[in-house]
């Protein structure tokens, strides 16, 4: 190995270790007692495995898990559905003002999500959807990013396939469902993974919308361990480990699709 490549690998390995240290501390802290968490010793003197079942005893952690997964699955399904329909319209159909509308659509990506929280909340109040699953799911069911991602992928599909199907008498719906969607599967999987991961870890919107304990998601439910009455850091770390494990598994399994999605986003349409 050349000296320059060795230096690059060592530098990248150092960065990877630096980013891994907080995660390692979280895992080790989840096995410590509360009195040991603040100590400098990184390893627990006594491995307290009871922290994990204690999380389920103090809060309805299984219910929080169900809520997070249930909401994330519904948001993922709706985002893939709405984004694929919009992307097909922008990529395969020709209609007056299409490109202008698409640019305006993309311009919404420049608006920070925090700015839209108040209008969305006011809308949920008028629709009487506060403290409900629908109020958590519907505002997140549409995304300009997903439309852009799938449009870029659909632009890579040769238009001759549409023309051949049209000659054979296929409708736009048949072309969309039977031809474009199967060929766009890698892009759809990428969007589904990114959407699920983002919704699963969402904190601010559920915090604002949910008041009932049985509707809380994992990020909001974890606040129980950090209150004015004291911080149970060991249980907080144990809960965090259990929260993040599904995301790690999903990322490892679907890593190639995420990388492919980043490459798709760089394609000029």
The CA-based dihedral angle spanning residues 16, 17, 19, 22, taken in that order and rounded to the nearest 10 degrees: 160
Output the pLDDT for position 262. Answer: 61
* CB 239, CB 225: distance < 8 Å: yes
Number of alpha carbons in the 13 Å side-chain half-sphere of residue 66? 8
How many angstroms separate the CA atoms of 122 and 113, rounded?
15
Average pLDDT in the 27-37 region?
88
Query: Which one, of 162, 154, 140, lies nearest residue 265 by Cα?
Result: 154
pLDDT of 261 > 80? The answer is no
How many angstroms separate the CA atoms of 243 and 235, rounded?
12
How many angstroms separate the CA atoms of 106 and 143, rounded?
10
Reported confidence tier of residue 46, pLDDT bands at 50, 70, 90: confident
- Give the number of other CB atoms < 10 A from CB of residue 40: 4
Taking the alpha carbons of 251, 253, 258, 263 in that order, is the dihedral positive or negative?
A: positive
* CB 84, CB 184: distance < 8 Å: yes
The proportion of the chain whose per-residue pLDDT surpasses 70, expressed as a percent, equals: 93
Q: For all residues of the chain together, what is the average pLDDT?
A: 86
Reported confidence tier of residue 260, pLDDT bands at 50, 70, 90: low
pLDDT of 269 > 50? The answer is no
Helix axes 61-92, 51-58, angle to 10 degrees: 80
The CA distances from residue 92 to 97, 167, 193, 246, 262, in Å, are 14, 16, 24, 36, 22
pLDDT single digits (tens) 160-197: 888 888 888 888 888 888 888 888 888 898 899 889 99
* CB 87, CB 151: distance < 8 Å: yes
Output the pLDDT for position 75. Answer: 96
How many angstroms separate the CA atoms of 135 and 189, rounded?
25
Output the pLDDT for position 71. Answer: 96
CATH 1.10.3720.10 fits 50-265, yes or no: yes
Number of alpha carbons in the 13 Å side-chain half-sphere of residue 22? 3
Reported confidence tier of residue 268, pLDDT bands at 50, 70, 90: very low
Reported confidence tier of residue 135, pLDDT bands at 50, 70, 90: very high
How many angstroms separate the CA atoms of 26 and 139, rounded?
33
In 3-state terms, what secondary structure has residue 231? Answer: strand
In 3-state terms, what secondary structure has residue 217? Answer: coil
Average pLDDT in the 58-79 region?
94
């Amino acid at each position: 190995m050349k000296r320059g490549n060795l230096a690059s690998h060592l530098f990248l390995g150092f960065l990877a270790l630096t980013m891994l240290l907080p995660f390692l501390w979280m895992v080790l802290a989840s096995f410590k007692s509360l009195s040991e968490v603040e100590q400098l010793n990184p390893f627990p003197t006594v491995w307290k495995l009871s922290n994990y079942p204690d999380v389920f005893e103090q809060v309805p952690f299984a219910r929080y898990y169900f809520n997070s997964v249930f909401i994330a699955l519904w948001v993922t399904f709706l985002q893939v559905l709405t984004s694929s329909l919009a992307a097909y319209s922008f990529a395969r159909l020709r209609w007056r003002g299409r490109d202008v509308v698409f640019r305006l659509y993309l311009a919404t990506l420049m608006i920070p999500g925090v700015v839209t929280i108040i209008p969305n909340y006011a809308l949920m109040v008028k629709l009487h959807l506060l403290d409900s699953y629908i109020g958590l799911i519907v505002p997140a069911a549409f995304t300009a990013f997903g439309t852009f991602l799938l449009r870029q992928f659909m632009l890579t599909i040769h238009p001759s396939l549409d023309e051949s199907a049209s000659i054979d008498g296929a409708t736009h719906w048949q072309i969309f469902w039977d031809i474009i969607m199967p060929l766009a599967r890698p892009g759809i999987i990428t969007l589904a993974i990114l959407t699920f991961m983002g919704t699963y870890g969402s904190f601010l919107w559920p915090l604002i919308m949910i008041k009932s304990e049985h509707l809380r998601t994992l990020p909001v439910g974890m606040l129980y361990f950090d209150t004015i009455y004291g911080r149970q850091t060991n249980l907080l770390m144990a809960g965090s480990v259990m929260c993040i494990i599904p995301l790690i598994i999903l990322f490892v399994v679907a890593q190639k699709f995420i990388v492919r999605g980043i490459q798709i986003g760089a394609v000029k349409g």
